[in-house]
Amino acid sequence: MTPTVPVTFAETDIEQIAQAEGRVAVIVTPDGKLDTAARRVNRLCKGALKRLVESDAWTRLKPGDLRTLAWPAGMQAEAVDVLCLERNADPVTARKAGAALGRAAGEGDLLILAGTVRRPAELAFGVALRRYRFTEHMTGEQDARPGAVTVMTGKPDAARAAYADMAAVAEGVHFTRDLVSEPANHLTTTEFARRIKEMESLGLKVSILEEEEMQKLGMGALLSVGHGSASPSKLAVMEWQGGESGAAPLALVGKGVVFDTGGISLKPAAGMEDMTMDMGGAGVVCGAMRALAGRKAKANVVGLVGLVENMPSDRATRPGDVVTSMKGDTIEVINTDAEGRLVLADVLWYAQEQYKPAGIVDLATLTGAMIVALGHEKAGVFSNDDALCGAFLKAAEAEGEGAWRLPLAEAYDDLLKSEIADMKNVGGRAAGSITAAQFLQRFVKDGVPWIHLDIAGVTRVKSDTAYAPKGASGWGVMALNRLVADRFEPEG
C-alpha cells in the first residue's frame, strides 16, 4: 500500500528554522500579523516575508492560499511557503490549507511553523491526504524515500493526540486510491479478495464467499455479471465489532467490478481503459473499513463488496436473458452494461438477510448519467430515510466532500416494468441515475434506512481536487467515517 507521509509534532524551536532543509511553511493571518516563528523567518530572509505581506498581492489572497519565496537568503530551505490562514480557521479550511502546502512541497521534507494555529492536526491531515502518488508500476521509484513532515506548534501533545485518528483515515483514503488506481490485470477479483483478507491483521473479521456458495444462496443476478470472465466472482465481507455486543451494524455495500467492458453490450473503445475504476464503490467501502479499524471505532459496521469482472465471451449473459436474484425477483437484462445494479441487488439482499442492519449505505460508480447531472464535483445521493440521509449529507459537508440529494418516486419506478419478468435492469435514457436507484430500492426491505451513493463522477478525476492529485480521489472514506462517528458511536 502507498504509505502515508510520516508526521511529527514538536515544540516550536526557532533556532532550528535556519537549518531546516526541504521547504518551510510559515503561517500569516490575512491582516498580515507575524507570530514569533514568522518574525524569525523574516529576519533570516532579510525582510522578504514582511515585504510580501505588506504588498497588494497579499491583500488579494483568500484563506488557504499561499505564496512562495524561493531559495531564501539566510536559510538552508529551498523555499518558504507563506500560507494565508486565520489562527482559528475551521477544520475544512485548515485541512485544505494543509493540502495546498502538500501540493507545493511535493515529495520533499516539510517543516510547518504552525505557531498558535488552533488546528495544527488538520493542517497535517491535509498534507497527508494531498501527498499521494501511485508508483507501484513505475520501475525505479518504489524505493524513493518519502519526505517527512514536521509540525512545530505550541501544544504538540494535543496535536499528536488529535492526529492519531486522522492518520488512520488518511491510510484508509490511500488504500482506496491504490485499489482504484490498480490496472485490472493486477487487481483481479482474486487479488482484490486477498488484499481484503489481509485486513484481518487490523482486527477485522473477513470472510470470502466463492461462486459455489453464492450459487447455493441464489445470487443469480450477481453471478450473471461474471459469467463471461475467467476470473471467479466473489463476495467479500468485512466485520468490525467495536460497539455493543449484539447491536445491529451499519452495512456498507460496494460495487466491485474490477473491469467493465460492458459485456455483450460492449462499450466504445475510446475511454474504456478508465473502466479499471468501476470497482470504486468497493474501494471506498474497503478504505472506510480500514479507517474504522485503524482508529478502533466504537461501532458495529459490516462492509460487503461484490467482486466481479464483466467480460464478453461464449458464456456471457446476453441482452434479453432473464436472471433470478437472491430475493427471488426475476430481472430481464436489457443491457449487460447496466451490470453494477445486478451485483448490488444480491449483496444488498444478503446484507439484510445475514446481518439485519440498522441502516445501509451502498456505493457504486453506477451511471454515466450522474456525471452529466453533477459533473465531477458531487456524488449523487438517493435515500428512503430523511434522518439517515441528513446525517450523511452533514458528514459529507463537514469533511469537504461534495454530495447532492436527488429524488425517488413511483413514476420513475414504473419505467422498469418488463413484459416477461418482474423488472428490467434499465429504464431508458431519461433519468438514468434515478431509475438505477429505483432498481436498487426494490432490494431494500421495508423499514430499513438506506442510502445509495452514485460516485461515478467523483471516484477518479482528470484534474487535481482540494485533497488529491488527479486520478483516484478516495472520495467517501472521510464522509463515511464521520457518519459512523456522528451517528453510530456513543458521544464522548
Within 13 Å of residue 331, how many CA atoms lie on the same side as its CB? 34
Segments in 295-356 forming alpha helices (H): 340-355
356 included as an active-site residue = no
User: CA 273: distance to chain centroid?
Assistant: 21
Question: Which one of the listed residues 133, 267, 298, 318 is annotated catalytic?
Answer: 267
Specify the DSSP element, H or E, that contains 468.
none
- Give which of 125, 120, 123, 144 is closest to 133, Cα–Cα: 144
The rounded distance, in Å, linking the Cα atoms of 348 and 355 is 11
* Beta-strand pair 66-70/322-324: unpaired
Amino acid identity for residue 120 in this structure:
P
Of 50, 119, 130, 341, which one is the catalytic site residue?
Answer: 341
Tell me the C-alpha distance between 9 and 160, whole Å. Answer: 6
Q: Across the strands, what pairs with 205? A: 239
Alpha carbons 357 and 362: distance in angstroms, whole number: 13
Q: Is 341 a catalytic residue?
A: yes
Contact 127, 96 (CB under 8 A): no
Beta strands in 170-316 (DSSP E): 205-209, 234-241, 250-260, 300-310
Show the cell assigned to 125.
491531515
| Residues acting as catalytic residues | 267, 341
